[in-house]
Structure 1
Amino acid sequence: MSRGGAHARPFPYVSYLRVYEPLDAFSDAQQLVILQQRSRGRGLTESMEQEQSLRRAMRPVSDPFPHHEPELVRVTHFPGVNGATAPYYCPNQLAVRTTLAAESLDQSLRGPLIDVLVPEVAREAHQARLDPDTFADSVAKLHTRSATWGVPFAWFALIHEDDLTEVVEDDGRVTTVRVTARIGDCIDRGRRSVAQLAIGAPEMDLLDELTEIVEWLEVFRRDAVVEVDYGPVADRVFPDDSPMDVRLGIESLAEADMMGAAASYRRLASRWIPIRQLARSS
């Protein structure tokens, strides 16, 4: 369990699914960026990211895109196959992620609101700042996914309650929980869940979500590690049995045990529906 006072409460709740790779998985240019930041503590990186986000949100003219901000890199340490703990790295890829987020917002919103939130002039300026070559590579190998107002159930299918778990606290409040596992284990668990859902509940959206996540994980090297970062929502749910409940629910569906599946869903719903309802609260 670690402690850090650099975590302010963000808004809304955001959780992350990240893939970390060894240094030699990155290009020479990326390795130079990583080596400049590898000694920085995780808490400081989180604070820097939040400060950058607040600066973008407080601009006098609406423009959510980064302007030549330095690429941040997160570092995690995980036991390798030989038992020795080694560093793994996850680039933030903010420029690419904001581009994809704006495209997603454009598909979900219509009318003048999208122009207020993401003005066309801001989009054009952001596109002019992007390097087409590195942008294409980053889209093909995006290291970070995010979700608001709760952790997606598909993410829980990748992790196990026995995986390496870090609880970060500040003044008695849980600021986040990070669960880390080898990518090969996550892929195996995801594939198993996909096979079970294909048998027991082929109509569930969870099947499509898990299938897509497994395909995404398969892009990375097999010596990578995967991290589920709850973010500040952890303070409302930790200790959390969601990985076990998702696993038991999927197993029950595969075995046509509807009572078992319903019981697992009730436990998950009681934990997560109140949090997701916060997105619609005034």
Structure 2
Amino acid sequence: MAQLLQVGRAFRSATGIPHEFALRVYVPAEDLDALYAPLLPRALPPEEAGVNQLTEQLARLAAPGADPLPPASEPLWTLPFSCAPAGRRMLAAGLGDFPVFHPPQRLRRSLRLVALAEEEGGQPLPSLLVPEEAVKAAGERVTREHFTPVYARQAAFTAPMAWFAPFTAEDHVESLHHGNRVHRCAVPVDVATRRVVHAAQVVEDAGGEDLEGLGEDLTHLARWLGAFPANGLLVLHYGAVADRFQPDESPQDLQDAVALLDARDDTGAAVAFRRLMHRWLPLAHLETAS
């Protein structure tokens, strides 16, 4: 019965990915570590890859004695470079379209979370849920994965404010999948990096304790993006819980706030920041309520 309850919870939480937000990097095939080469022919679009992960998660939960950690190898995610509006404009200059790929790296990211909990202390839950032997065995399975960058960042219920710095309103993309509208923002990595570096510099120059956390987040985001090729894509995948305020105006709000900070209009910047925060507060309350 307990396993069936776990499956039910997994289905409710994973179907449509209602509350998870992800910032994912997709890169051309030639920029992937050779380890991923055999997976290229079986790459899946993001929506299908999400369903594939859900099926695998349910199967593991339903199987007694199954490994509690995700598999070491799973299908790559893929999108055409032209899915980003800015990418289409670049291709209009005469370049041909090409696919870009995202390695989910769920096992690697899961192990990082366990390690982080151990480093910070006071977080025994991962160790209680995942036996130490399982963690060690999983670590051995990812030793062949030599490519250093982690290709995804995830957040539940709300997206961190810094995540909107790489995008503008023009980067919003809407598509249909089995009758459901799917929302994302997509932009080439080089464009995203320039925007984040600029925002980080403006916030740092503005100073103030209220902006210290945002400045650090922007700096870390810029460093992360610097590990990827310029002709990759940075994609913000929205959780379905944010569908009610799509198309999302948060990228524009953050862009306005940065521009006003740069113009030394602290009052106007505060108004723009407040618009962004008030949009996301109801979702943050959902996380507490759950």
Name which of structure 1's ranges 256-265 and 219-228 shifts more when overlaid on structure 2: 256-265
In proportion to residue count, which structure has more helix? 2
2:232 aligned with 1:229: no
What SS does structure 1 have at the residue aligned with 2:170? coil
Uncovered stretches (5+) of structure 1, i.e. residues with no partner: 1-6
Percent of paired sites with the same residue: 26
Contact 2:172 2:183 in 1 (8 A): no
Task: Give the C-alpha shift of residue 233 in structure 1.
Answer: 2.7
- Residue 256 of structure 1 pairs with residue 264 of structure 2: yes
CA 1:186/1:119 → structure 2, altered by over 3 Å: closer, same or farther? same
Corresponding position: 1:37 with 2:49: no
Conservation of the 8 A alpha-carbon contact between 1:62 and 1:117: no
CA distance in 2, matches of 1:41, 1:94: 17
Change (3 A) 1:113 1:97: closer
Q: The residue matched to 1:195 in structure 2 has which SS? A: helix
Contact persistence 2:172–2:247 (CA under 8 A):
no
Shift of 1:46: 1.4
Structure 1 equivalent of residue 183 of structure 2: 177
Measured after TM superposition, the shift of residue 199 of structure 1 is 1.1
How far, CA to CA, are the matches of 1:259 and 1:58 in structure 2?
54
CA pair 236-165 structure 1, distance change in 2 beyond 3 A: same
Q: Is the Cα contact below 8 Å between 2:118 and 2:124 reproduced in 1?
A: no
- What is the aligned partner in structure 1 of residue 16 from structure 2? 9
Asked if the contact 2:70–2:107 (Cα under 8 Å) also holds between the matched residues in 1, the reply is yes
CA RMSD of aligned residues (A): 2.5
User: Is residue 203–residue 215 contact of structure 2 (8 Å, CA) maintained in 1?
Assistant: yes
1:194 matched to 2:173? The reply is no
8 Å CA contact 1:76, 1:87 repeated in 2: yes
Change (3 A) 1:67 1:195: closer
In the TM superposition, what is the alpha-carbon distance from 1:107 to its structure 2 partner?
4.6
Change (3 A) 1:111 1:22: closer
> Residues 177 and 230 of structure 1 are in contact (CA less than 8 Å); yes or no, is this contact kept in structure 2?
yes
After superposition, the Cα gap between the structure-2 partners of 1:59 and 1:199, relative to the gap in structure 1 and judged at 3 Å, is: farther
| Displacement of 1:267 | 1.2
Q: Deviations over 1:232-257 (max 9, x none)?
A: 23313212100010111122233332
Query: What CA deviation, in whole Å up to 9, does each residue of 1:181-230 have, x standing for no partner?
Result: 11111011011101110111353211111111111111111111111111
Gaps of 5+ in 2: 1-13
Distance 1:229 1:168 in 2: 14
Q: Residue 43 of structure 1: CA displacement?
A: 2.6
Equivalent in the alignment of 1:49: 53
Match of 2:75 among 72, 77, 81: 72
Q: Report the Cα distance in structure 2 between the residues aligned to 1:258 and 1:41, rounded to whole angstroms.
A: 42
Which sits farther off after the overlay, 222-231 or 25-34? 25-34
> Distance in 1 between the 2:135 and 2:284 partners?
30
Distance 2:121 2:62 in 1: 22
The equivalent residue for 1:4 is none
Q: Residue deviations 1:54-107, cap 9 Å, x none?
A: 334455569531245x42211111236443322111111122111112223445
Q: In the alignment, is the contact (CA less than 8 A) between 1:164 and 1:181 conserved in 2? A: no
CA displacement at 1:15 relative to structure 2:
0.8
CA-CA distance at 1:111 after TM superposition = 6.3
> How many aligned positions are there?
266
Instruction: Tell me the TM-score normalised to structure 2 length.
Output: 0.82
Trace 1:101-180 onto structure 2 (pairs within 5 A): 101-107=113-119, 110=122, 113-130=125-142, 132-134=143-145, 137-138=146-147, 140-163=148-171, 165-168=173-176, 171=179, 174=181, 176-180=182-186
Could you tell me the TM-score, scaled by structure 1's length? 0.84
